[in-house]
Structures are given as structure tokens and as C-alpha cells.
Amino acid sequence: MCNMKKILLVPEFSAFGGTRSYFTYLLKFYSSQNYDVAIALSKYQLDNEIKSLLKHYNYRVYFIRERRTGLKRFLRYFPLNLFFDILTIFPIYLKEKSNMIVVSNGTPGMFIGLVLFPVKFIYVFHTYPLKSKIIGLSSIQKAFLNLSMNTNKILVTVSEYSKKQLLTFWAPGEKSNYIHVIYNSAKKTSFVEEINRNKNIYRVLTMGHVNWYKNPKLWIEVSQKVIRQRPNMNLEFIWAGEGDLLEECKNLINQIGLGAVKFIGYHENVVSLYNKSAIYFQPSLLESHGISVVEAMARGLPCVTSDVGGLPESVVNGETGFTCPPNDVECFASRIIKLLDDDKLRDKMGKSGKLRAETLFSEEVQEKQMTSLYTSLLQK
């Protein structure tokens, strides 16, 4: 045990979504690398799946106070969040004597104080800033992290676009070498599972949080337009996922009378949703990369997405699917109809997307890049 590299993982994730998928990937990756792992979690993160995974990998778990309480408002401010980070995690660090701390989150600034610990440090971003004033970090915080970044204290993000945004609104250009891009991956099983398309119904699928940045109101408008333009086609629009706008969107489609449009909430068997769909649709206003899109590509689905963030790095317009401006209802509707009307085009784009996912977004590719990064840091 003494020769094993010790990792302290501090993850932020919710019941589903990209940060959760990344966390579960890290659990498997650390096991494959034979790392000795301790994890700092809040109790709300422990559902049955997470409990089962932790038991399977036999990782040590430390429970920490969650930020979703009344503390959340105050911990937005520097240096209060810095003190919270140190007081919360330092006792765990002292006990574990870790070689590296890894923070994985979608909230810029969370656990930023851990960069001060005398240990190798990786800060993983699953989001990106639009403007410096809304990145979620004060000027002092940004300066603090910039001063801390070096060959032993690095950032990892999930798309070239995210890196570009970080360099534009946060880290100066000379810090480029300390920001590494490693794309999200689709599960290995996604490439080999037998696809059982439902030939009696054309399903357009969307996966993700039903929140403003996923653009659900436009999604409803697009689905309504497509259904009206193809009234004799057996169509179904499905959105799987929880979120702040879930009930509001359900009420809206009930008022409009769109029986073929459904927000089904959290769905355990996502494999069946992908495998019985014809097209994947994601009109996000913001997207760092999009694990759901990558999973859809791996399963041979042509994708219609917005052209924002890291999505064009996955979906090649006119080759593996189509991309549109995020508020262009007509563009989305016409591209979906084009795919619905042409079985050969759907199949061609789906196969091209699968090949692209195998080349760029497979677990093998991600594992190779992760292994190289971790090895280079831990051997210094």
C-alpha cells in the first residue's frame, strides 16, 4: 500500500448529468490505475447506485457538510469559501497524506481553496465562462487561482471551446500550458450494444436537466412545428431528465395538447431510450461538451444540436448530424424533418457519428489521455 499513489477526490455531482457520469468514470479509472483513493462526499450524493459503486471499489469515504444549505449564499464570497474549503478538507488531507487532490465540479470556484494544499492538484471544469463578470468568481479569486497555477497545479476541461473561454475570461494566455483538454467519453458498451430501433414510431430523444440553459421552451416549440408539418408520421418527442422547469414544461405541453411530446423525468433505463430512438436533439444555450450527445453518437444516432460551446466539436454539421443557432426554431425543425424523411441519410449520419465517437470520444482514448496526465504529475 505504501508504494501506491494516493488520490483525494472531491467531486460535485447531482442525481444525473455530466458531472455524475464523470465521477463514476473516475471511480473506474482510479481502480484500473491501482490508485489508493479517498473521497469527500456530502450525504445527499449517496443514492443506491453510488453506494454500490463505492462498495464495489472499496474506496474510503469521508462525509462533509453540504453547500446546498443556507451556507450556500455566504460561500459565494471570497475568502469565506476559501476558509470553508480549508477547514472542511484539511483534516481529511492530514489523515490521508494524499499525493494528489482532484476537484471535479460544474460550479466555478467551489473548493478552489484546495489549491493551497502542499500537494499535486487537478481542478476539473465541466462548464465555462461567458463573461468575466458572471463566471462565478470574483476578480480576487481569479487572481488567486492564476497565481497558484503551475506545472503541479493544473486545470482540466472537456472541450477546446471551454479552454478558449477560460483563457479569454479567466486565465491569461501564458497559463495555456496549465489547462488541459480531455473530452468526455461514451461507455464501452454503447458501441457494442445491439440497437433495436422501433420501426413503427419515429422517436426524437433529448436527455438532460430541464433547466433554462438546455432550452426546453424552444424544444417544445420545435417539436410542435415538426409534428404539425408531418401529421401522418407516427412521431414522438421524449425528454428524459429532472430539473427546475420540469413541471412548468409538463403543464405547457398539456395546455397546448401535445400528446406526442413528453417530459418523462428521470429514467433508469437510458439504454432503451437511446436504442429505440431515431434522432437525438439538443438545442442547448450553453454546453461545455455534452456527454448525452456523445452517447447518442456512439449508438449510431444522427444528432441535431445547437452550435454553441463544445457541441460543434462533437457534431460535424452535415456529416454526423446538423447544428443550428440556439434560438432558430425553423432551422432545428427543418433539419429534424430532413432526417425523418430520409432513412438513408439518418443511417449514413448515424454511422459517421459512431465512427467519430470511436475515434475521439471512446473510453480508451480518454483513459490514455488521463493516464498520461496523471502519470506525468505524480512522477514529478
Asked whether residue 327 is assigned to any structural domain, the reply reads yes
223 and 331: one domain? yes
Separation of CA 79 from chain center: 28
136 and 204: one domain? no
Asked whether residue 239 is assigned to any structural domain, the reply reads yes
CA dist list (Å): 286 to 283, 290, 307, 325: 9, 10, 9, 12
In terms of Cβ atoms closer than 10 Å to its own Cβ (0-12, 13-18, 19+), residue 291 is buried
Asked whether residue 1 is assigned to any structural domain, the reply reads no
32 and 119: one domain? yes
Number of domains in the chain: 2
332 and 246: one domain? yes
pLDDT in tens, the chain (380 residues): 456 799 999 999 888 788 898 999 999 999 999 999 999 999 889 999 999 999 999 999 999 987 655 455 545 555 666 777 888 899 999 999 999 999 998 877 788 889 889 999 999 988 877 664 444 455 666 777 777 888 999 999 999 999 998 888 777 667 889 999 999 999 888 887 656 666 778 999 999 999 999 999 999 999 999 999 999 999 999 999 999 999 999 999 999 999 999 999 988 888 889 989 999 999 999 999 989 999 999 999 999 999 999 999 999 999 999 999 999 999 999 999 999 999 999 999 999 999 999 999 999 999 999 999 999 999 87
237 and 199: one domain? yes
221 and 274: one domain? yes
162 and 204: one domain? no
Show the domain range for 331: 188-360
**pTM for the full predicted model:** 0.89
165 and 291: one domain? no
C-alpha–C-alpha distance, residues 232 and 223, integer Å: 15
CA dist list (Å): 17 to 12, 120, 207, 338: 11, 27, 9, 29
31 and 139: one domain? yes
CATH code, 94: 3.40.50.2000
Asked whether residue 111 is assigned to any structural domain, the reply reads yes
242 and 141: one domain? no
